[in-house]
């Protein structure tokens, strides 16, 4: 394996492949990996309660909407999908720079065994990705209020990915990358395409998606 650097914090030692960004965008300047790891270490289990509450609320809302007309939410959906598309675009771009550099300049084993820089922008966006799993629960709310079917795979995916991402944070995976790095990289690309598609359908289709 190639050369690496070492980061230590909160009782964890992380080996990472050094990468220097040309510049930081505004929110990245406030990144604090120590504080984030402490947060996930103490509160990752909250994601389980959030996921359970999400499932209960969705079922209750479905019952409430049974005898009501579906809501028309095109402007809100456009704003919602557009915001998530922009967020995914930023995350894919900033995280992707470091991941692409690692994949193209170092042995493949390094991309599996080494982290992205825990103090750098890639880790910041990995953290934001984990937090965004809460916001994405709103997708199901829109489906229910518009009386669209909510299949098992939809709500199960939202609940499980939320718990996985937060638990990864407790194990330093959000901070250090490793297996979470590859998951986040490919998931960001997928989400970007998803939200752009939903935004386009909201504008041009008679029945908006999302």
Residue 10: DSSP 8-state: T
Catalytic-labelled residue, pool 157, 158, 167, 184: 157
Question: Shortest CA distance to 188 belongs to which of 108, 122, 118?
Answer: 122
Phi-psi region of 177 (alpha: psi -120 to 50; beta: other; left: phi over 0): left
Rounded Cα distance between 126 and 145, Å, is 31
Cβ-based neighbour number of residue 69 at 10 Å: 7
Please classify residue 173 by burial: count the beta carbons closer than 10 Å to its beta carbon, then call 0-12 exposed, 13-18 middle and 19+ buried: buried
Question: Shortest CA distance to 144 belongs to which of 67, 70, 51, 52?
Answer: 70
Tally: H helices and E strands in the chain: 9, 2
157 is catalytic: yes
Question: Shortest CA distance to 65 belongs to which of 149, 146, 150?
Answer: 146
Helix (H, G, I), strand (E, B) or coil at 17: coil
Q: Mind telling me the catalytic residues?
A: 157
């Amino acid at each position: 394996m190639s050369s690496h650097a070492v980061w230590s914090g909160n009782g964890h030692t992380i080996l990472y492949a050094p990468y220097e960004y040309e510049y930081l965008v505004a929110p990245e300047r406030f990144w604090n990996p120590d504080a984030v790891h402490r947060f996930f270490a103490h509160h990752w289990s909250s994601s389980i309660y959030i996921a359970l509450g999400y499932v209960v609320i969705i079922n209750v809302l479905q019952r409430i909407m049974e005898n009501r007309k579906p809501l028309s939410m095109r402007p809100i959906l456009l704003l919602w999908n557009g915001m998530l598309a922009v967020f995914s675009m930023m995350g894919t771009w900033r995280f992707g720079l470091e991941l692409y550099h690692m994949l193209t300049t170092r042995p493949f084993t390094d991309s599996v065994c080494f982290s992205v820089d825990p103090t750098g922008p890639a880790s910041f966006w990995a953290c934001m990705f984990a937090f965004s799993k809460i916001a994405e629960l709103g997708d199901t709310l829109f489906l229910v209020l518009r009386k669209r079917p909510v299949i098992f795979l939809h709500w199960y995916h939202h609940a499980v990915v939320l718990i996985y991402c937060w638990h990864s944070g407790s194990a330093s995976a959000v901070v250090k990358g490793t297996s979470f790095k590859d998951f986040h990289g490919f998931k960001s690309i997928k989400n970007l395409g998803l939200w752009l598609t939903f935004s386009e359908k909201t504008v041009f289709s008679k029945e908006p998606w999302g």
